[in-house]
């Protein structure tokens, strides 16, 4: 960072030189202010030479006017230095956002670049001002009487050292604050972009809790910055106010050393009118603005961050879902809803999740869908997944818009109608007036809304379909029809959260949740005399060590050596690319061995 600053200044020698020259006026004015007052007293008013005294005061006033003009020029030179720096930053940030777009890019481009520009200008101003003022004042003290320096210099140095010691911790806290600021920006950006889906999935509370968490973290980070900023007050007192006190206390001794009353008054002017304000500005500027600039620049100039991996990450082949020791609780002090859950679902299998109300079924689907992150353990699932919640989301729009809402490219009408037919929504689409008909969500029954949502999920390019009581409002026959459609859907891993035991019986795998207990067993059709067992190898289910065999008796290898619970066929169906899972979807005859 220091190297970059030096290179930047070296690239603008003219602006730097002009800035230094105009700043010399400020140093000269500082020096003259104290010196002229000393002379006005010693050679003028105290010596009975009123005209001489007034003459020195007039010289000091003239210096103030001249310095004011110099300050105007200083601002121009600072702008000439800062604006190119800002342009360079904007270029860099835009390139970075184009190379690796992320949710915080807008925050960096607007908020942080402006912080950097303002902070850089402020920093140059205060640093330059302190250096030239301090030089003017210290030279003035030396010229008036070297003994004055003995009194002033030690506390000034101590104050500066104390201030310097706070810079690094303050910068670290500033960095944390900015990271929290970006997290808020990213979290809220994601939430605003997904409002429809959040509403559809009934995830308002979860999203609000996550947003509140990031806002709280930002507030805590800001408070920490403020606390450290408080230490600066001490530095100003030691470096700027203590010398004034010492000067007054040692005045008799200084006078005995031959320091004139005028020199004493001049020294007081240096301290109160020049050094103290310059130190205050420096501490304010470097302590807050400077560390903020340091942090912002470090972030802005950093190499493009790799995009965070999609959550959850991809499971090992041949699985569509892989959970390892997953624990989740709604809040740090809440009882876990899920406790050390292990679950491997091969691609193409059908998992039923059952359990009493409140046992964590929806929580599990939200974890697999990536809406929630586990407190401990690891959740991995194929990236293209569709979650259909119990509360089906239908919006005011045409039937087609509602059914193809999750399709990146609109499918052809015959494919949409075929999907509706398979899921059992064809009659509803006909009654509604066809694909072009406008839907009034309020006029639909809960079951009708679920049929539309199920058809939408069927058409969506997802290899993993999570039905969270998505057919709960349908009669058993219609639920069976829809489920059969998803089972026949190519390259689909199906997770069905169901209260009805019949739904569980149809699955290849059944996960029963109850309190923090869980049990994984084969579906009815796979229990040919074998005992179910827990996937973690514990519990009575494991006592005979029997594995739920596949229909052909084979036991496929698990990457980590455990026996997975394969459902359909000897080999789990290989994952296919997105477009293969989308329409047109050939009607596949349902597996005659499945009791559907």
Ligand X SMILES: Nc1ncnc2c1ncn2[C@@H]1O[C@H](COP(=O)(O)OP(=O)(O)OP(=O)(O)O)[C@@H](O)[C@H]1O
Interface with ligand X by CB under 6 A: which residues? 205-206, 330, 337, 355, 357-363
Is the distance from CB of 472 to CB of 449 less than 8 angstroms? no
Instruction: Name the residue nearer to ligand X (CB basis): 202 or 261.
Output: 202
Summary count for the chain: helices (H), strands (E) = 21, 11
Q: Residues of 275-288 as b/e, b for ≥16 C-beta within 10 angstroms? A: bbebbbbbbbbbbb
If DSSP codes are grouped into helix, strand and coil, which group holds residue 133?
A: helix
Instruction: Name the residue nearer to ligand X (CB basis): 216 or 427.
Output: 216
Instruction: Name the residue nearer to ligand X (CB basis): 499 or 555.
Output: 499
Q: Crossing angle, helix 413-423 and helix 476-488, to 10 degrees? A: 130
Least distance between ligand X and beta carbon 337 (Å): 4
Instruction: Name the residue nearer to ligand X (CB basis): 289 or 363.
Output: 363
Least distance between ligand X and beta carbon 353 (Å): 8
Is the distance from CB of 588 to CB of 484 less than 8 angstroms? no
Instruction: Name the residue nearer to ligand X (CB basis): 83 or 335.
Output: 335
Instruction: Name the residue nearer to ligand X (CB basis): 78 or 366.
Output: 366
Structure tokens at 1: 């960072």
Distance CA 543, CA 545 (A): 5
Instruction: Name the residue nearer to ligand X (CB basis): 337 or 503.
Output: 337
Least distance between ligand X and beta carbon 365 (Å): 8
Least distance between ligand X and beta carbon 387 (Å): 13
* Closest C-alpha to 289, from 178, 174, 182, 184: 174
Instruction: Name the residue nearer to ligand X (CB basis): 267 or 520.
Output: 520
513 forms beta bridges with 518
Structure tokens at 117: 């520009």
Least distance between ligand X and beta carbon 230 (Å): 37
Distance CA 205, CA 330 (A): 11
Distance CA 401, CA 417 (A): 13
Distance CA 458, CA 446 (A): 18
Dihedral angle, C-alpha 286, 290, 291, 296, nearest 10 °: 170
Least distance between ligand X and beta carbon 355 (Å): 6
Instruction: Name the residue nearer to ligand X (CB basis): 156 or 497.
Output: 497
Least distance between ligand X and beta carbon 549 (Å): 30
Instruction: Name the residue nearer to ligand X (CB basis): 361 or 481.
Output: 361
Chain CA centroid to CA 499, Å? 38
376 forms beta bridges with 327
Instruction: Name the residue nearer to ligand X (CB basis): 285 or 355.
Output: 355
Distance CA 158, CA 169 (A): 18
Least distance between ligand X and beta carbon 329 (Å): 9
DSSP tag of 270: I
Instruction: Name the residue nearer to ligand X (CB basis): 201 or 491.
Output: 201
Is the distance from CB of 477 to CB of 505 less than 8 angstroms? no
Q: Which helix (H) or strand (E) segment is 380 a member of?
A: strand 376-381
Least distance between ligand X and beta carbon 348 (Å): 25
Beta strands in 77-217 (DSSP E): none
Least distance between ligand X and beta carbon 514 (Å): 10
Distance CA 202, CA 393 (A): 9
Neighbours of 431 (CB within 10 A): 10
Structure tokens at 209: 């809790």
Distance CA 340, CA 378 (A): 10
Least distance between ligand X and beta carbon 334 (Å): 7
Least distance between ligand X and beta carbon 229 (Å): 36
Is the distance from CB of 67 to CB of 32 less than 8 angstroms? no
């Amino acid at each position: 960072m220091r190297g970059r600053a030096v290179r930047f200044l070296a690239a603008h020698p003219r602006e730097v030189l002009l800035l230094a020259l105009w700043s010399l006026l400020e140093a000269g004015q500082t020096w003259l202010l104290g010196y002229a007052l000393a002379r006005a007293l010693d050679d003028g008013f105290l010596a009975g030479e009123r005209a001489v005294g007034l003459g020195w005061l007039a010289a000091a006033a003239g210096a103030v006017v001249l310095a004011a003009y110099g300050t105007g020029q200083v601002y121009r030179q600072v702008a000439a230095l800062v604006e190119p720096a800002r342009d360079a930053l904007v270029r860099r940030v835009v390139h970075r956002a184009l190379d690796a777009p992320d949710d915080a890019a807008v925050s960096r481009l607007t908020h942080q670049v402006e912080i950097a520009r303002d902070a850089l200008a402020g920093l140059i101003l205060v640093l330059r001002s302190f250096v030239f003022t301090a030089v003017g004042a210290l030279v003035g003290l030396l010229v008036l009487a070297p003994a004055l320096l003995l009194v002033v210099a030690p506390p000034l140095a101590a104050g500066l050292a104390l201030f310097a010691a706070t810079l690094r911790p303050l910068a670290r806290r500033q960095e944390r604050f900015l990271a929290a600021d970006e997290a808020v920006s990213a979290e809220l950006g994601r939430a605003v972009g997904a409002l429809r889906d959040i509403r559809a999935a009934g995830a308002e509370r979860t999203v609000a809790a996550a947003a509140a968490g990031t806002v709280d973290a930002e507030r805590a980070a800001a408070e920490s910055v403020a606390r450290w900023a408080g230490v600066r007050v001490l530095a100003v007192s030691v470096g700027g106010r203590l010398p004034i006190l010492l000067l007054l206390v040692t005045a008799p001794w200084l006078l005995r050393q031959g320091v004139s009353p005028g020199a004493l008054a001049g020294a007081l002017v240096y301290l109160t009118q020049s050094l103290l304000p310059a130190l205050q500005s420096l501490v304010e500027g470097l302590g807050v603005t400077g560390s903020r600039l340091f942090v912002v620049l470090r972030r802005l100039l950093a190499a493009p961050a790799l995009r965070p991996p999609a959550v959850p990450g991809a499971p090992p082949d041949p699985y569509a879902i892989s959970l390892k020791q997953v624990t989740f609780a709604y809040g740090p002090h809440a009882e876990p809803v899920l406790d050390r859950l292990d679950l491997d679902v091969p691609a193409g299998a059908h998992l039923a999740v059952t359990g009493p109300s409140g046992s964590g079924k929806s929580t599990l689907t939200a974890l697999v869908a990536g809406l929630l992150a586990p407190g401990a353990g690891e959740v991995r699932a194929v990236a293209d997944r569709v979650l259909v919640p119990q509360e089906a989301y239908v919006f005011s729009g045409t039937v087609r818009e509602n059914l193809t809402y999750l399709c990146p490219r609109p499918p052809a009408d015959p494919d949409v109608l075929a999907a509706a037919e398979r899921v059992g929504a064809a009659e509803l689409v006909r009654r509604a007036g066809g694909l072009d008909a406008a839907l009034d969500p309020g006029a639909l029954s809960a079951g009708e809304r679920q049929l539309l949502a199920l058809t939408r999920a069927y058409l969506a390019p997802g290899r993993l379909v999570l039905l969270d009581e998505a057919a709960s409002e349908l009669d058993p026959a219609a639920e069976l029809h829809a489920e059969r459609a998803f089972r026949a859907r190519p390259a689909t891993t199906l997770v069905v959260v169901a209260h009805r035991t019949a739904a569980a019986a149809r699955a290849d795998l059944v996960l029963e949740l109850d309190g923090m207990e869980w049990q994984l067993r084969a579906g009815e059709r796979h229990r040919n005399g074998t005992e179910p067992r827990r996937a973690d190898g514990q519990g009575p289910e494991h006592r005979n060590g029997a594995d739920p065999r596949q229909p052909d008796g084979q036991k496929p290898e698990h990457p980590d050596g455990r026996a997975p619970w394969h459902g359909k066929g000897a080999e789990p169906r290989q994952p296919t690319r997105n477009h293969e899972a989308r329409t047109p979807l050939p009607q596949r005859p349902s597996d005659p061995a499945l009791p559907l």
